[in-house]
Amino acid sequence: MPDIAALTPTFRRDIEYFEQLHESVLRFTPSTMVHHIIIPDEDIPLFSRWKSNRLAIHTTSSLLPEGFLSISLLSKFLGSLPYARSVPALKSLSRGELFLDTKRPWPPIRGWILQQILKFAAVGSMNVDAVLMLDSDVVLINRILPEDLVRNGAVRFYRKPKAVFPEMTKHIAWHGTARRILGIPEPLPPEMADYISSFLVWNPSIVRAIQKRLEEVNHRNWPSVLARELTFSEWTIYGSYVDHLGTDTDRSFVSSDSLCSSYWDANALKREDIATFVASVSQSDLAILVQSTSRTSQDIRKEIIETVLTRFARQESETSSTACPL
């Protein structure tokens, strides 16, 4: 049976989301699966209450290489400036999310970039067959079996063909960055695959190959390669590597089914929206996402989760009664 772990970067402001996610991991994954989390060092006291044989805590400092320096006091000062909330880069700094790569101190490393570097570092250090990547605002809704994620030695690879168009400027930029830093010579075609979902699985062996490739192409350690970029997508880097530089085995278990019904909109869901969202959840889905940045209230989130779980429980009960009539 393949050895599978889960990984979630989180922090104190997402603790309520994390609690919902972790409870679902304990409920719907095999008892052998360990849920790894990455948290800022100062958040250890808040998350230690969940530490068990099924939760492993990693801190930011334990995963970053030498030469990465936190300058939290400066970042908090910059984030407190009157106009900081109107500037996304400065808004993130108010949370102390500013690091420097002392070997290349400009540009500073913002929180979003740092989180992606930490994902690569954590997965690359794991001695497991596959890692289920879960953000805090995801909740599992169905039982996950090892064969859902690994088949015949191949880790599930999410790839949605021809889903990225020229009008999707952020996605195009992420593809361009991935190809440049991975040394993929092919020019960008008019339409490209999308590798971004709320429910993704990474192969640690492939992550280590990506780290090695980044160092060979760019002649510096891989965290510094990523830290100097102003924007990139970890999912697009992983997907581009598998598609263009991976083996046939790496691409042998590919699917365009995200297995996760997601709400990405910036507007908060309201009670009248619950039925529409629940109806969008497929029987094949293993998770749901109501993005935290939508500011959907916890009451609405909890009602969505409970409604979805009730629906699946009812369907499971109906299936069982049909298969085994009294």
Model pLDDT for residues 270-303, shown as the tens digit of each residue? 999 999 999 999 988 999 999 888 889 999 999 9
Span of 7-11, 61-65, 253-257, 275-279 with lowest mean pLDDT: 61-65
CA angle (98 as vertex; 234, 68 as ends), nearest 5: 75
Span of 38-52, 68-82, 111-125, 131-145 with lowest mean pLDDT: 68-82
Helix (H) or strand (E) holding 226: helix 222-227
Measured CA to CA, the distance from residue 242 to residue 182 in angstroms comes to 11
Measured CA to CA, the distance from residue 215 to residue 221 in angstroms comes to 5
Q: Select from 264, 272, 256 the least CA-distant residue to 304.
A: 272
Measured CA to CA, the distance from residue 80 to residue 91 in angstroms comes to 8
- Estimate the crossing angle of helix 234-245 against helix 204-218, to 10 degrees: 90
In tens, the pLDDT along 100-156 reads 676 776 777 777 888 999 999 999 999 999 999 999 999 999 999 989 999 999 999
Query: 64 near 118, Cβ under 8 Å?
Result: yes
Distance of CA 84 to the CA centre of its chain: 27
**pTM of the model as a whole:** 0.86
Measured CA to CA, the distance from residue 89 to residue 84 in angstroms comes to 8
Distance of CA 63 to the CA centre of its chain: 17
Task: Determine what percent of the chain falls in helix, strand and coil, rounding each to the nearest 5.
Answer: 45, 20, 35
Other C-beta atoms within 10 Å of 200: how many? 22
| pLDDT at 207 > cutoff 60 | yes
Distances (CA, A) of 90 to 42, 104, 108, 255: 21, 20, 12, 38
Tell me whether residue 169 is exposed, middle or buried, using C-beta atoms within 10 angstroms of its C-beta: 0 to 12, 13 to 18, 19 or more: exposed
- Estimate the crossing angle of helix 169-182 against helix 234-245, to 10 degrees: 50
Q: Select from 227, 232, 233 the least CA-distant residue to 100.
A: 227
pLDDT at 77: 55
